[in-house]
Amino acid sequence: MFDRLRKTTDSAANTASAAANPTTYIYNTYFFRGSHYWMYENRFNRTRYGDPLVIANEWQGLPANIDAFTQTITTAGPDYVIDSYFFKGL
């Protein structure tokens, strides 16, 4: 399981806030097991419909059975720089 912050465009965000701020951030929680994963949509307090999905189909280059995840978030003016790292074979 891991939590992930990601930047999104206004089309995926609330349209009322998108007019004032076209860059928004979405915070989701992901659960991985074997070759599948589930996404919990924190802003809606529910899992995403249609899950689980196959890791290889949705996360290009990410192997099944990942061991760990970390994310670094730094500021760059009013914006954030977000880097994600996955680990396997620890």
Which residues touch 12 (CB under 8 Å, ≥6 apart)?
24, 26
Query: What digits encode the pLDDT tens for the residues 23-78?
Result: 787 778 888 888 898 989 888 899 899 999 999 898 888 888 888 888 888 887 87
Q: Is the pTM of this model over 0.75?
A: no
Give residue 49's pLDDT. Answer: 92
Q: Is the pLDDT of residue 16 over 50?
A: yes
Choice between 79 and 2, residue whose per-residue pLDDT is larger:
79
- Please report the pLDDT score of residue 53 as a whole number: 92
Task: Report the half-sphere exposure of 6 (CA within 13 A, side-chain side).
Answer: 14
pLDDT number for residue 22: 66
pLDDT class of 8 with cuts at 50, 70, 90: confident
Q: Are 47 and 37 in contact (CB under 8 A)?
A: no
> Where do the domains of the chain lie?
2-87
Exposure class string for 10-34: b at 16+ Cβ within 10 A, else e: eeebeeeebeeeeeeeeebebebee
Residue 18 has pLDDT above 50, yes or no: no
- The residues, ordered by sequence, that sit 6+ positions from 1 with a Cβ below 8 Å of its Cβ are 29, 30, 31, 32
